[in-house]
A and B are shown apart, each in its own frame.
Chain A
Amino acid sequence: MSNIPTAPGNVGFPQAYGQQQQPYQHVQQFTQAQPQPFANAPNPFPFPSATTSNGPVKVAPPQVPNGGTGYANQFPARAPPVAAPSAFPAPTSFAQQPPSFSPAPPPAMNGQQMPPGAPRPFNASPAPFPSAPTPAPAQPPIPSALAAARPAPFPAPTSSYQPQPAPRPPVPTGYPQQQPPPPQQQPPVYGQPQQYGQPPQQMQQMSQQFGQMNMAGAPGAPPQQPSGFRNDIVDLIAQRDVQQLGFEDIEIQIPQQVANPQAVVDPNIFRSTLAQVPQSEELLKKSRLPFAITLHPFRDVKNLNIIQTSNIVRCRYCRTYINPYVYLPDHRHWKCNLCNRNNDLPDDFCWDPQTKAFGDPRNRPEIQNSTVEFIASSDYMLRPPQPAVYVFILDISAHAIQSGYLHTFSEQLIINLDQMPGDDRSQVCFIAVDQCLHFFSFTNAKRYPSEMIVDDIDDAFLPSVTSLLVPLKNFKDIIRSFIKQLPEFYSQIGPTSGGNCLGSALKLAKTLIQEIGGRVSIFQASLPNLGLGALKSREESSEGGQNLGPATDFYKALSLECTGQQICLDLFMFNTQYADLATLSEVAKFSTGCVYHFPNYNYRNDIHQVKRFEKVFTRYLTRKLGFEAVLRIRTSRGLALTGFYGNFFVRSPDLLALANVNPDCALAAQVTIEEKLPAYVCFQSALLYTSSKGDRRIRVHTMCIPTTGDLLQLYNNFDLKATVSYLAKIGVERSMTGSALADSREALVNAVLDSVGSYQKAVSRGSGMLVPRSGHLRLFPSYVLAMLKHPAFSSSRGIRLDDRTGAMLMLRFSPLDQILADIYPRLYRLNELATMPEDQSPSPLPLSFEHISRDGVYMMITGTMAFVYISASADPNFLVNVFGTAIYNDIDEYSLLERDNETSRRVFSFFKQVTQFRFYLGPIITIKEHSPLRDTFVRRLIDDRTDSTHSYVEFLQHLKREISGN
C-alpha cells in the first residue's frame, strides 16, 4: 500500500502530460470511452472506462452551479489554509449574529437546517431567519480579496501558491456559514454585531434556507412565533406532541473554506452523534452527550463515482485520500484536511475531461463527491483478487427436517443461482450436517453428485480434495438439479439425523477454502451437540446467569482463524428449541458475518416466517459482496476512535479486518477528543475490497463536521439517529461480553438522564423536562424507553434466551435505519392516503393506542415485520378499495393485494416508499381488531404502559424525579 504519488516536475504541461503515459490507465480516460483492460484483473474492466458507473463521465454534475471559471463568484469566502486555525476568526465568532438579518428571529428554528427534501410544506411568513448558515452560493462578493485568493487559471505559475495567503475577505470576523445561535442562548461575549451581506443577498439566503428548512413547519407544530423568548425550549411533560415536530436529519454546515463545501456525505452512510463537534474535551464532558460515529461502509449507493486513474491522490504523510474537504490553495498543491500538511497535486489531476483541457481540480470527481470508489492498482493487492467462493452448510438433523427450511432454501437458491455475485471463477460447495458429515462430490457435469458420509466427526477429514469445491459455471445444471432434489432427499428422518456436529463441519469447510477465502453460509435448526465445539443446553442456567455470552471459545477461535483466511461465516437460525445462539453467533461476530434468526420456523404453519426467509435469503444471495476487505477510518488530528462496535475483527487501532463486506452491515465507533480542535474536523473511511468481478477497489467516504465552542449548540446538533444506533450497539456488546443486562439498561437510562439533565443545567431554568424544541434531544426519552422495551434489552422474563440473543445480534450489525425502525416502529394511518394529494404521505404517529381510532386502518413498520391493522368500524369505502370487500368480517390475511384502483395503488406505493431499504422486512401481516395476532401489534405500541413497563409519561416522570434528585 505504498503508491506515493510523485509530483511531476515543474515542466511544461504538454510535455509533462505526454511523459505520464501509464501502462494501463491514464487519467485521460476520464473522457475517452475506450475500455481498457485492467492489468491484473482477469476480466476486462466492466465499466466503459468513464468515471461513473452509470454512463458518461460525471465530472461536473449539473447541480453544481458553476464549473470552470464561474466558481469565482460562488465561493468568494474561500479562506486561507486550514493549517492556520489561529488565522481564522476565533471560534467565538461563530456565534456572532448579524443584526441586519434578524429583527425578530423566530427562535423555534434555532438556526437549524433540515434537508431540502423534507416533506414539510413551508408556509410561514417570510420572517427573517436568524442565521446565514447555508453553504449557499449567495455570499457577499468580495472581489479584490477573491482575486488574490484564487489562483489564475491553469497552468498557474507556482508562485501563486501562498500557503498563508494574507488577503482575506474584508469581513473582519466569522464565516458567514457558521450558525449563530438563537439570540437568547447567546453568551454576551459573542454578541458583537457584525455587518455583512446586503439586503438582496439576505433575501436570497433566506429563500435558500426556506427551501431547506422544515423545522417548526411540521403539521402539528405551532406556527413560528417571532418574539417568544422561551419558545425554543419545550417541557416534555407539558407538551406531548413532540413527535409531531419532525425527526429530520440535521444538516451539517460545511465550512466554506474547503475545496467543495457542496459535497455532503449521505447521512445514512456516515454520521456523527453530534452534528457540531465540541472544540475541547471539557466541553464534551460538560454536555454529557455521547460522541460516536456510525458508518455503513458498503451501503448500496446510486450514482457511485467510480474512478480509474493511474494515480490515486493521497496525502504523503497520513495516506488520506483526496476529498472535497481538503484545502486547495492553488492548482499545484493541496493541504490535507486530516493532518494539515501540504502535498503536491499531480499534474494530471487538473485534467478536465469535459473541456479536454487542463482546468480546475475542483471539477474532479474526487473533489466533487464525498463518496467515491477507486479502482486500485496492483499496489493494493497482497495476492491476485480471489474468486467468489460459496459454501453452504445445511443442517439435516431431525429438527431441521421438521422445520422444512430446505424447501424454501432450494427454491430460492435455484431462482437466484445466476444472480449470485461472482464471475466465471465462482465456486460452490455443499455440506450437510447431522450426526455425520455429508459431502457431495461433483465429478462429472452430467452425473448426479455422489454423497460421501464421514462419520468420524472428532477427527474428520475431507473425503476428496478436488470434487467438493467445484466451479459453478461448469456444473451449473447438475447443481441446479441437485439443489432441487435436496429437500426431497432429506425429507425423512434418517438413522443418522439424531445429532448435529456443526463444529466439525465448520472446521472442514475452513480447511477446504482456506487457500482462497470466501463465504460460508450456515443453516442451523438445532443445537450442535456432537463433535468439535459440542454444546449443551443452558437455557435455564442454575446460577441464574443470563448466558448471553459464549459457552466455549471454539467458535470464536474458528471465526478468528477464518477471518485470517478471508472466510466469512453467516448464520441462519431456524430453531424451535434452544440452540445456544449466543455461542454459535460467535462465528459470525468476528468474521463480518450476519445472523438471521427465524424463531419457530415451520414451513407448514408459519407462512410469515417462510415469506420472510424467502425475502431475506433472496437479498442475501443477490446483494453485492466484497471479498478480503479492510476498512480504515482516519480522523482529524485531535480525535481518536476508541472503540468499535459491530461484526468484524479489529486488526489494529484504526484498521478493521472484514473477511467479506456486504451492503447490510454497519458499525459504530466511539470518538474521544484528545486535543483542542480547529474549525472543522473530518472523518474518512476507506474500504479496500475485492469486488465479485475480481478487481480491487477502494470505497472512500469522507465526512466533514464543523466544531463549536458553544454548549447549547451541541444540544441543538445532537443527532438521535446515530446515538440510538451507537447506544444499541454498545449495549449489546457489553451485555454479550459479560456485563449484566441490568447494567446496560441502566446505562441507557443514564444516557438520557445525563444529556437532558445537563441541558437543564446549561439553560439554568427550573425543573421539568426541558429540551430544545428543534433538534433531536426532545425525542431521546421516547427512544430510550423504546430501547428498554425492545426484546434485546427488555427486562421481561417472557423472552426466550435465543430470541433475546437474536434481537441483540440484529442490533449488533444492522445499519441505522433498520435499528431505528426496530426500536421505534413507524405507525401510519392509511385512511388519509385516499384523500391526500398525490405528493403527500401520512406522517408517523406516536406509538400509543390513543392514536388508534375505531375507524382507522393503520400500517406499522418495524425492523423485521410490517403490519396492517384494521379497526372494526373502518371506512367501508377504503376497505373495498384496498381489501376488496367492505365487510370487516370477510377480510382475512390474503385480502391485502394490490388492486386496480387508486387507493390500493397508493397504499402499496406508500409501503414501498417507507420500506425502500428494508431488505429484512417480512411480508405485510394483516391484523384485525379481533384477531389473535392483535397482541403482536399492540405490544409494539411502546408509548403505552404494560404490566411490567412504564408508559412514556411515567418514564418522563421518572426521569424528572431522577434529574431533580441530583
Chain B
Amino acid sequence: MTFTFAAFCYLLALIAVGFCIFFAIYTVICVDELRTDYKNPIEQCRNLNQLILPEYILHGTFTLLFIFSWQLISILANLPLAVYHVYTYMNRPVMSGPGIYDPTTILNRSTLSSTLRISWIKLAFYLISFFYYLYAMIYTLVTSN
C-alpha cells in the first residue's frame, strides 16, 4: 500500500468536490429564493456569480489531475461537465465581471427553471462523484503496492 499519484489526485478531488457540493447547494437555495421570495435579483446574481469561477476552476483542476494520472472512468465522467462549463462561460451574457448570471434575465420563468434544474443535476453529480472518489481513493491505496 503506497500513496500513489492517483490516490493523491483522488484525495484532492475529494476535497474539491466537497467545495463544489457546497456551491451547488448554495446555488439551488439562491435560485429557489429568487423564485419564491422577494430577493433582489441584482444581489442574488452577484452572490452567485462570485462562485462561478471558483467552481469551474476547481472542477477543471481535478479533471486535469485525472488526465495526468490517467483515471479513465473519472475522466469520462468529468469531461462532459468541463466542456459544458467552458461552453457556458464562452456564451455568457455581456458582462465585465466574472459570472454567468444576468439579473435582468434570470427571472424569466424558463431561465429560472433551467438554472434550477442545472444546479440540481450538478449537485447530484458532485454527490455521486464524491462517494466514487472516496471509493476509488481507498481502492487505489489498497491495490497499489
Interface on A for B, CB 8 Å cutoff? 549-554, 556-557, 560, 564, 590, 640-644, 649-653, 655, 672, 737-738
Contacts and interface: CB of A to CB of B under 8 A. Distances in A.
Contacts of A738: 91, 93
Contacts of A549: 94
B96 A554 contact: yes
A873 to B, nearest CB: 56
Contacts of B112: 653
13 contacts: A553-B94, A553-B96, A556-B104, A560-B103, A564-B42, A642-B108, A650-B104, A651-B107, A652-B34, A652-B41, A653-B109, A655-B38, A738-B93
B105 interface: yes
A708 B25 CA distance: 43
Contacts of B93: 553, 737-738
Contacts of A651: 38, 40-41, 107
A842 to B, nearest CB: 43
- Chain A CB count within 10 A is highest, among B41, B95, B104, for B104
A590 B42 CA distance: 12
Given A553-B96, A650-B107, A655-B38, 14 more contacts: A550-B94, A551-B94, A554-B96, A644-B108, A649-B103, A649-B104, A650-B104, A650-B108, A651-B38, A651-B40, A651-B107, A652-B39, A652-B41, A737-B105
Contact of B109 (A557, A643, A655): A643
B40 A552 contact: no
Dominant SS at the B interface?
A: loop
Given A560-B103, A652-B41, A640 B109 contact: yes
B110 interface: yes
A653 B103 contact: no
Given A560-B104, A650-B104, A642 B96 contact: no
A554 B97 CA distance: 10
Given A651-B41, A652-B39, A553 B109 contact: no
A641 B109 CA distance: 8
Contacts, number: 53
A557 B42 CA distance: 10
Interface of B: 34-35, 37-42, 91, 93-96, 103-105, 107-110, 112
Contacts of A650: 41, 104, 107-108
A55 B69 CA distance: 85
Contacts of A653: 35, 107, 109, 112
B38 A652 contact: yes
Contacts of B104: 556, 560, 590, 649-650
Contacts of A642: 108-110
Contacts of A551: 94
A128 B28 CA distance: 61
Nearest to B40: A651
B132 to A, nearest CB: 37
Contacts of B95: 553
Nearest to B42: A560
7 pairs of A and B residues whose beta carbons are closest in the complex: A642-B109, A650-B107, A553-B95, A652-B38, A643-B108, A553-B94, A550-B94
Contact of A672 (B91, B94, B109): B109
A289 B105 CA distance: 24
B96 A557 contact: yes
A285 to B, nearest CB: 16
A549 B95 CA distance: 12
Nearest to A590: B104
Nearest to B37: A652
Nearest to A640: B109
Contacts of B107: 650-653
A760 to B, nearest CB: 29
A557 B45 CA distance: 12
B55 to A, nearest CB: 21
